[in-house]
Amino acid sequence: MADYSNLEKVRLEKLNQLKDLGVDPYPRRTKRTHTIQEATEAFLAIEKVQDHEPVQATLTGRIRSVRPMGKVTFAHIEDGSGRIQLFFRANDIGEDQVTFFKDHFDLGDFIQAAGKVFRTRTGEVSLWISEYAMLAKAITPLPAAKDQVVEGEVVQHATLTDPETRFRQRYADLAVNRDVREVFRTRTKTIRAIQHFMDSKGFLEVETPILQPIYGGAAAQPFITHHNQLKQDLYLRISFELYLKRLLVGGFEKVYEIGRDFRNEGVSFKHNPEFTQMEFYWAYADYQDVMSLTEEMFSFVVEEVLGTKSFTYRGQEIRLDQPWRRVDLREGIIEQTGIDFHQHETAADLAKAMKSLDMEFNPKAPRGKLIDDLLGHFLEPTFIQPTFVYDYPREISPLAKTKEEDQGTVERFEGFIGGLELCNAFTEINDPLDQEERFLEMGRSYSEADDEHHPLDEDYLRAMRYGMPPSGGFGMGVDRLVMLLTDQQTIREVLLFPHLREIDK
């Protein structure tokens, strides 16, 4: 038995009264003839016509406000398409019907209302009720939320803001905060736009395993699960990369996947344990080709979603109507810190040079990690306008092909916007012997018994030995892109149900 609040007990009492009166508070079927938007548009279309037939409509929606005024009552209802005001008048439906509404209907209930669309004296398009019915009684009141339209702007009053309640009870958050619903509409539009773009470029959208016997393609800790019947431990994927490249071996030249990755790591404003990734692989292309396609894709997606090629993120105008800035990683770091990592061949040497910088780091970290730290600390936050950083150290890029003239550097770039890392791409290794060596460099091991080692994916190497065309690959954090397009500061705001700790009972 639920533990009901006083407010809920009042509503349960109303529910019982309805049942006693023979009214089904949860009827099976409805008689909606128009969405609110359709009814409003139909009315606006004929309003100016002389002697027009009235627009008769049966609407459905959730009651968001009620203003009883004696023998007349106003209310607003909301459906998926918008809001409209209801007008109940005792002269038309009888005083009993107005009273019945006031006595048994609450904010949050779903109602069906039939009548004709008209405009009130104060000019609001409304529905003049001739009949109404309960569609679903709400027992728990929605968090109090009122809004007011002032000069076209929606002003919210006393709305639900507590982040814990908003995320744990996202349904209530969505029900009450229309701007939150809008964020998720934009999210879906973004994913569609990416698909439109990739499809138009001839890429095939595919699906690869989420449950994997060996994880790979990124340097993250995995979640582990178990198949009972097969008595087999499995990992939730940390990237799609190794499977998508197997498809290049199989003869597909352009593939992409949009889906969920899982990483067993810390949670932050830009990290959630499960997040949405888009990766594509493109045969006969290299990282320069991928860079051009990335520019084109972002420009397309932003325009398709927002209707313009620029937008505001954290108060700054981001422009996608021009080529991205390009920064050589080594030169960028020299410029910001004076340190040339080519002059520091070992981790210890580089760490020593970094001591004078205003930055904390682990002095025992490997050299590649230190370089990545410098990028993250000194460069990343400064990349507000779209920026590519290119040519990364070999030791943090085990799947990227080295530069012809420099075996210590790989053909790789990352893309940044608004100080956020959005994507990562490189010319893929397709030399199976080189790939094997690079795995071994990373400490991958053939001995499966040793839990300390990230196992080496032998099947991936076998695939590569069948021959993989020279290719470029790309990965992007879709959630972060949505953060940009909706001007949200944390990834939780663009995930419908972000991860939260379980509450102890």
Partner RNA sequence: GGCCCGCUAGCUCAAUUGGCAGAGCAACUGACUCUUAAUCAGUAGGUUGAAGGUUCGAUUCCUUUGCGGGUCACCA
What residues from 431 to 450 belong to the interface with RNA (CB under 7 A)? Answer: 442
User: Exactly one of 37, 56, 130, 159 binds RNA (CB under 7 A); which one?
Assistant: 159
Which of 3, 151, 360, 451 is the binder for RNA (CB under 7 A)? Answer: 360
* Whether 280 contacts 254, CB under 8 Å: yes
Number of residues that bind RNA (CB under 7 A): 84
5 binds RNA (CB under 7 A): yes
The secondary structure of 191-213, three-state, reads HHHHHHHHHHCCCEECCCCCEEC
Among 109, 261, 279, 372, binds RNA (CB under 7 A): 372
Query: Shortest Cβ distance from residue 89 to RNA (Å)?
Result: 5
CA distance 15 to 24: 9
Measured from the CB atom, is 126 or 276 closer to RNA?
Answer: 126
Q: What distance in Å separates the CA atoms of residue 477 and residue 260, rounded to the nearest whole number?
A: 10
Among 338, 363, 376, 408, binds RNA (CB under 7 A): 376
Pick the binder of RNA from 24, 131, 162, 331 (CB under 7 A): 162
| 131 Rama class: left (phi>0) / alpha (psi -120 to 50) / beta | beta
Residue 458 to residues 20, 242, 446: CA-CA distances in angstroms?
Answer: 70, 11, 8
CB nearer to RNA: give 270 or 309: 270
Cβ proximity to RNA: between 145 and 234 the closer is 145
Smallest distance from RNA to CB 231, Å: 28
What minimum distance in Å lies between the beta carbon of 69 and RNA?
A: 4
H or E segment and range at residue 133? strand 125-136
**Binding residue for RNA, selected from 2, 21, 49, 503, defined by CB under 7 A:** 503
Shorter beta-carbon distance to RNA: residue 203 or 474: 474
Q: Two tokens at 170?
A: 């996202």
Among 17, 33, 165, 188, binds RNA (CB under 7 A): 165
Q: How far is the CB of 352 from RNA (least distance, A)?
A: 17
Q: According to the binding rule CB under 7 A, does residue 4 interact with RNA?
A: no
Residue of 327, 399, 429, 481 that binds RNA (CB under 7 A): 399
C-alpha to C-alpha distance for 293 and 287, rounded to whole angstroms: 10
| Amino acid in the structure at residue 86 | L
Least distance from RNA to the Cβ atom of residue 104, Å:
9
Distance between CA atoms of residues 417 and 419, nearest Å: 5
- State the DSSP code for 231: T
> Residue 251 interacts with RNA (CB under 7 A)?
no
Q: Assess 17 for contact with RNA (CB under 7 A).
A: no
Query: Please, which residue, 124 or 205, has the CB nearer to RNA?
Result: 124
Span 89-108, contacts to RNA by CB under 7 A: 89-91, 103, 106-107
Minimum separation from the CB atom of position 424 to RNA (A): 5
Q: Determine the Cα–Cα distance for residues 173 and 324; give it in Å rounded to an integer.
A: 37
121 is a contact residue toward RNA (CB under 7 A): yes
Q: Which amino acid is at 40?
A: T
Q: How far is CA 185 from the centre of its chain?
A: 10
- The only residue of 38, 124, 274, 487 in contact with RNA, by rule CB under 7 A: 124
**Tokens of residue 116, six digits:** 């004709």
Binding flag, residue 315, RNA (CB under 7 A) = no
Give Rg (Cα) of the chain: 29
Residues within window 128-157 making contact with RNA, judged by CB under 7 A = 141, 143-148, 157
Taking the C-alpha atoms of residue 80 and residue 342, their distance in angstroms, rounded to an integer, is: 58
Q: For the chain, report the end-to-end CA distance as a whole number of angstroms.
A: 16
Taking CA atoms, 395 is separated from 15, 295, 390, 416, in Å, by 66, 27, 15, 21
Residue with tokens 């927002």: 306
Minimum CB–partner distance for residue 268 and RNA (Å): 5
Contacts to RNA from residues 405-434, by CB under 7 A: 414, 424
**What's the min distance (Å) between Cβ of 239 and RNA?**
7
Which of 272, 397, 430, 488 lies at the binding interface for RNA (CB under 7 A)?
A: 397
Q: Does residue 220 touch RNA according to CB under 7 A?
A: yes
Residue 309 near residue 299, CB atoms below 8 Å = yes
Residue 293 or 495 with smaller CB distance to RNA: 495
Phi, psi of 79 (to 5 degrees): -120, -170
